[in-house]
Amino acid sequence: MSMMLMTVLLVLLAPLTAQCKYDRVCGRNLTNLSVELCTYPGMSHPCYRPFHIQDVTMSRRDFMGDICCRRHCSKKFLKSFCCFEQSCLESCYEEFRPRNFKFNDDSLEYDDNDPMIDKLALSLLLILVAVVSGANDSEITVTTTTQATQNTTEERKVRVCDKTAQFALFNLCQYPGEDSPCFTYDSPIFIKSLLHKVARACCSEKCTWKVFRSHCCFYNSCLNECYGYNLPNPLGDMIRPDRLFYYQRKNMTNIEIENFLFDPNRREVRKRNRRDFKQSLDF
């Protein structure tokens, strides 16, 4: 009787034991496991909750690697980074958004980027951009209006589409004095996916500049990866309205944009090749 009871207990506790099993997992295996655990059933990409720790220079990827690769971690630990609450699902997956869905800045969390803690929204000059696109795709009229009161915590929602959305993303994520943007992930696959996602999301539904900035990364670790040397984090000074649409005024074509983004001579690409930085893929 006691043997049968022991067998039943082992069967019941097997799933819990598997969840709490501690293993060392690193690099691509860690990425794949995290993606598998945090991808909602039926969806094609993961959904993570906002990542906040005291050390703002450490990304979620670095934090997971520090715990799971240098030491040991369990599936339960990795699942703690997932978010399947309704607000997260609406932000991560279009299928969960109501027809009249509006972005909620406080809960915005995209699936395949490492969200930065938004300290930039404080005391920034707010800009309203209205875009009127003619029949010719290369002719785009941009109008900017400055908010009179800078103390407001509410950012204006704007509708930007296609190349205009891409230009806004490039300029907002471009560190002052540099000639290229710095995103949370710098792999070509991620950037191409990001371009289409932002252009689609901010055209079908108005979104705020916080949506664009959530894809930028100006932490020391990111700046070192993107530009090859340590740079100070100037917080509010890093986004300058006068640089907005700088590349649009140069009338860059889509091919020129891609060449600009994926130029093998960019310093961050050279640096990554030197370091053989193969594990820069998502989460």
HSE of 209, CA atoms in CB hemisphere, 13 A: 24
Q: What is the mean pLDDT of the segment spanning 42-47?
A: 83
For residue 54, what pLDDT band results from cuts at 50, 70 and 90? low
Instruction: Give 263 or 199, the one with higher predicted confidence.
Output: 199
Show the CA angle centred on residue 95, arms to residues 94 and 99, nearest 5°: 80
State the pLDDT at residue 40.
Answer: 84
The confidence band for 271, taking pLDDT boundaries of 50, 70 and 90, is low
Q: Is the pLDDT score of 29 beyond 80? A: yes
Residue 60: pLDDT above 60?
yes
Q: Of 12-16, 99-103, 142-146, 214-218, give the lowest mean pLDDT range.
A: 142-146
pLDDT at 35 over 70: yes
Confidence of residue 254 (pLDDT cuts 50, 70, 90): low
Chain segment 127-166, per-residue pLDDT in tens: 333 333 333 333 333 333 333 333 332 356 777 777 777 7
Render pLDDT for 84-129 as a digit per residue (tens, 0 to 9). 887 777 778 877 766 544 444 333 333 333 333 233 332 232 333 3
- What pLDDT does residue 208 have? 75
**How are beta strands 127-133 and 140-146 bridged, if at all?**
antiparallel
